[in-house]
Copies of this chain bind each other. A is one copy, B any other.
Amino acid sequence: MSLVVVGSVAYDGVETPRGRVERMLGGSCTYFALAASYFTRVGIVAVVGDDFEPADVAFLESRGIDLAGLERAPGKTFFWSGVYSADMNDRTTLRTDLNVFADFQPKLPPHYRSQPYLLLGNIQPALQRAVRAQMNSPRLVGGDTMNYWINNTRAELMEALREWDLLLINDSEARQLSGQSNLRRAARSIFQMGPRMLVIKRGEHGAILFDGDDHFAAPGYLLEDVIDPTGAGDSFAGGFFGYLAERGHDAKELRRAVIYGSVLGSFCCEQFGVDRFRTLTRPEIDARFHEFKAFTEF
């Protein structure tokens, strides 16, 4: 194993203009792990309830994912449901039942602690810190956050950020965290909080990597058909980090990792929930990476 991922393993109910699923496997940690599993061996840190299906355990194991850090607690698994707008650029949350996630105290199995790569999903900054503290000396620590933590637990988030190498967020979160509407200025301001790399996820508009004074911009992949965007951002993060765990994180590989992240995010949208990962192969991923080359070269 080389990458530890922390976040939610959940059941989701999703409605998009292309259909509706009442209950399916989801959660940031699930998407991280599935996307990263094409590049490296991943260990999950998360909690599920006693309703978690053996078929879902079997699916994650079939992708070579280490579930030693997947705690099983009495009660129900985290449940989220939402409905997407007609253009799928907005979504409304219908229900969030934290269930067993409410008392989640992440505990890392001993063999996780010496792993070189750590990806912290969008959970309470105090929990992100608790996980970070259990790792020996990871080579690269990245994390995600969101408006809720930026607004309500800012001091805690600042403590957490000090210990990260890389922050992965979207435009509006970068602007909110930094108080700067210009993204170059936002990046500089965020670098003073701790991270020395910033990846801005822009959905259909691609992604930007700020790496010290350097930056790299990639357009989004133009899908012919978007079925369900749930998990696309987390699949981006998983593909990005998984690729780095496979190849190291020098400047050149960081750029390629942004493309691999975009590739995984785009595949994720092609079916509901995690379904695309049931059939997706590494050759398909590499083929889409080369498509990126073809439609961006000039």
Give residues in A with beta carbon < 8 Å to B: 86-87, 181-185, 202, 205-206, 208, 214-220, 222-226, 252, 255-256, 258-259, 293, 295-298
A222, B296: Cβ atoms closer than 8 Å: no
Contacts of A208 in B (CB 8 A): 219, 222
Q: A217-B219, A218-B219 are in contact. Are A296 and B296 (CB under 8 A)?
A: yes
B215, A183: Cβ atoms closer than 8 Å: no
Give the residue of B184, B222, B223 whose beta carbon is less than 8 angstroms from that of A222. B184
Contacts of A181 in B (CB 8 A): 86-87
Q: Which 6 A-B pairs have the closest CB atoms?
A: A217-B219, A255-B298, A205-B205, A219-B219, A184-B224, A184-B222
Q: Give chain B nearest CB distance to A212 CB in angstroms.
A: 13
Q: How many monomers of this chain does the complex have?
A: 2
In the assembled complex, the Cα of A214 lies from the Cα of B252 at a distance in Å of 27
Give the residue of B87, B184, B223, B298 whose beta carbon is less than 8 angstroms from that of A258. B298
Contacts of A217 in B (CB 8 A): 206, 219-220, 222, 295-296
Chain B residue with the shortest CB-CB distance to A259: B298
Contacts of A86 in B (CB 8 A): 181
In the assembled complex, the Cα of A216 lies from the Cα of B295 at a distance in Å of 5
In the assembled complex, the Cα of A202 lies from the Cα of B222 at a distance in Å of 14
What are 19 pairs between A and B in contact, CB < 8 Å?
Answer: A182-B224, A182-B225, A182-B226, A184-B222, A185-B224, A205-B205, A205-B206, A205-B219, A206-B206, A206-B217, A206-B219, A214-B295, A215-B222, A216-B298, A217-B295, A219-B219, A255-B297, A255-B298, A293-B298
Q: A87-B181, A202-B205 are in contact. Are A296 and B224 (CB under 8 A)?
A: no
In the assembled complex, the Cα of A291 lies from the Cα of B223 at a distance in Å of 28
Chain B residue with the shortest CB-CB distance to A88: B181
In the assembled complex, the Cα of A43 lies from the Cα of B220 at a distance in Å of 37
A296, B216: Cβ atoms closer than 8 Å: yes
In the assembled complex, the Cα of A263 lies from the Cα of B208 at a distance in Å of 18
In the assembled complex, the Cα of A214 lies from the Cα of B297 at a distance in Å of 12
B202, A295: Cβ atoms closer than 8 Å: no
Give the residue of B182, B202, B226, B296 whose beta carbon is less than 8 angstroms from that of A223. B182
A298, B184: Cβ atoms closer than 8 Å: no
Contacts of A214 in B (CB 8 A): 295
New A-B pairs, 20, CB < 8 Å, besides A216-B295, A216-B298:
A87-B181, A182-B223, A182-B224, A182-B225, A182-B226, A183-B222, A202-B205, A205-B205, A206-B206, A206-B219, A215-B222, A215-B295, A217-B219, A217-B220, A217-B222, A217-B295, A217-B296, A218-B219, A255-B297, A259-B298
